[in-house]
Every structure is written in C-alpha cells, then in structure tokens.
C-alpha cells in the first residue's frame, strides 16, 4: 500500500515488455485487438505510426494500472485480459464503474488527472500510449478521430443504461441485465453452447450494480434454480434460456 493506505500503481519493474514490441505494423496486424475502437481507425498501411508510439506490456492479476488522482499522462488499449474501473468514496465505499476487456480503451480524458482507478482482474496484456502522442495521431488521421468519437458515444450510452438500471430496476432486473450484457459482449447470445466467463467476483458485481453481495449471490442462485442458467463453476455460466433472462431484465441491457 502507498501513502495513506492507497494501493500503489505497478512500477516499471512490474510492467513486463512483450516480445515483438517496437517491430512495426506486423505486430499490430496480428494483434487480438486489431478491430478495437482505436486500432480499427487505422488502415493497414498506417499501423506503423501507431506501433511506433506503443509500448506493449503485461500486467499481473491484482496489480493497479491507474490510480485515481494521478496525472493522466498515458492511455491504454487492452490486448487481452480483464480490467476493472472503480472509484472510492471518502468513507471507503467502492463503486465499480465498469469491466473492460479485449479492445477496450482506458484513460482518455479532458482532465489532467485520472478520475478513477484501474486494476487487472486477470493477467492482462496492454498497449500504452503517451497521451499527447496519441492526440497527434488523432489530428493526423481522420479515421482515428471518428473512432474516438464513436467510442465516446458508446461510453455515454453505456453509462445512461447503468444510471437507468440503478435508478429504476429491481435487484433481479439489474443482475439479469448484467448477465445479458456480458453474454452479448462475449458472443454467448450467438452461440448457445458457449460458456459465459466472469472474471469479476460476486462482490465486484455487487459494487457495480449497487447491491449487496448476498443479493447478487441469491439472485444468481435463483436464476439457476429456475433453469435460466447452469453453472459449471463459480466463474463460468451457461445461458440455458436467453429469452427468459431477457424477460427478467425487461429487455434492457447494461
């Protein structure tokens, strides 16, 4: 823990460079996150400009990538793995702001400081960009500018869904909406045999949905009992009745 009990951001010795870093557009072409919001704004022959500004590294599970209040000098793109965004109230209560995975972008802000913290839920691989260097690319390549604006619009849409869920939905509707959204994001809606993987804990879900741990656990158990889902393990879920889950969510996803 750092000063005043705050978690320490992973130091350079804990950010492990990935093989192939700095080898140009070939690495970007083969990247699992090639179709992400940011990277898809570049044509294949433009990727060398992105690769020249990227530092690729891995981050161990549980390590803090960004700490709320620190200078917002860098932005990140997730290549693989899962990251959670959070904010801590003055009384120590935690609000989860979002769960990010492959292709998601972290840290772009108009503020000079980060307004959230980011921690690796699993071992993650990321690209790091100097904020000002990325701003130069946005100005130089119109396709990137369009993608950044689309990404901002998608973030606003997601936050509006979350505000609605927290303000108007019951506990069951919130949990059903969360599972529905995760299933859609991971492609489980298109492939009914594909298991939903939850990198986050039940406590994380509770802090995201504004519920207690007991309520989240009890609701997921109810869905299992009602035949909506099966649970091969604690963090793996098979959606058995997508229509039924959608009805429990009132057809709204978060």
Please indicate, yes or no, whether residues 180 and 93 belong to a single structural domain of this protein.
no
Please check whether residue 59 lies inside any domain of the structure. Answer: yes
Number of residues that make up the chain: 254
Q: Tell me if 254 is assigned to some domain.
A: no
Give the pLDDT band of residue 5 (cuts 50, 70, 90): very low
- Angle formed at CA 199 by CA 154 and CA 243, multiple of 5 degrees: 65
Does this model's pTM top 0.85?
no
Residue 239 is part of which domain span?
A: 169-248
Q: How many CB atoms lie within 10 A of CB 197?
A: 15
163 belongs to a structural domain:
no
Mean pLDDT in the chain?
86
Same domain, 85 and 25: yes
Instruction: Tell me the mean pLDDT in the region 204-226.
Output: 96
Beta bridge partners of 106: 76
Q: Determine, yes or no, domain membership for 162.
A: no
Q: Is 19 helix (H, G, I), strand (E, B) or coil?
A: coil
d(Cα 199, Cα 120) in Å, to the nearest integer?
A: 10
Per residue in 217-226, pLDDT (tens digit) is 999 999 999 9
Q: In what order do the strands lie in the sheet with 236-239?
A: 196-197, 236-239, 229-233
* Structural domains counted in the chain: 2
Residue 161 lies in a domain: no
Together in a domain, 200 and 109? no
SS3 2: coil
Q: Judge whether 156 lies within some domain.
A: no
Q: Are residues 11 and 132 in the same domain?
A: yes
**Structure-block tokens of residue 235:** 């963090």
Could you tell me the maximum CA-CA distance found in the chain, to the nearest angstrom?
Answer: 55
Residue 134 has pLDDT above 70, yes or no: yes
Confidence at residue 240, expressed as pLDDT on a 0 to 100 scale: 94
* Residue where a domain stops, chosen among 116, 151, 186: 151
Task: Tell whether 159 is covered by a domain.
Answer: no
């Amino acid at each position: 823990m750092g000063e005043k009990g705050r978690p320490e951001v992973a130091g350079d010795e804990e950010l492990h460079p990935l093989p192939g870093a700095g080898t140009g557009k070939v690495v970007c072409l083969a990247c699992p996150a090639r179709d992400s919001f940011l990277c898809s704004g570049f044509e294949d022959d433009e990727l060398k400009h992105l690769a020249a500004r990227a530092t690729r590294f891995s981050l161990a599970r549980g390590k803090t990538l960004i700490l709320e209040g620190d200078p917002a000098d860098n932005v990140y793109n997730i290549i693989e793995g899962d990251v959670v965004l959070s904010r801590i109230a003055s009384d120590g209560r935690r609000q989860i702001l979002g769960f990010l995975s492959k292709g998601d972008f972290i840290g772009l802000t108009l503020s000079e400081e980060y307004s959230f913290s980011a921690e690796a839920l699993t071992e993650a691989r990321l690209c790091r960009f100097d904020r000002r260097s990325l701003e130069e690319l946005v100005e130089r390549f119109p396709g990137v500018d369009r993608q950044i604006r689309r990404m901002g619009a998608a973030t606003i849409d997601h936050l509006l869904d979350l505000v609605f869920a927290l303000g108007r939905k019951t506990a069951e509707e919130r949990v059903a909406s969360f599972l529905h959204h995760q299933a859609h994001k991971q492609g489980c809606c298109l492939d009914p045999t594909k298991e939903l993987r939850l990198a986050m804990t039940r406590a994380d879900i509770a802090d995201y949905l504004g519920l207690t741990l007991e309520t989240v656990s009890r609701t997921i158990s109810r869905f299992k009992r009602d035949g909506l889902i099966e649970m091969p393990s604690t963090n793996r879920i098979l959606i058995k009745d997508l229509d039924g889950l959608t009805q429990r969510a009132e057809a709204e996803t978060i």
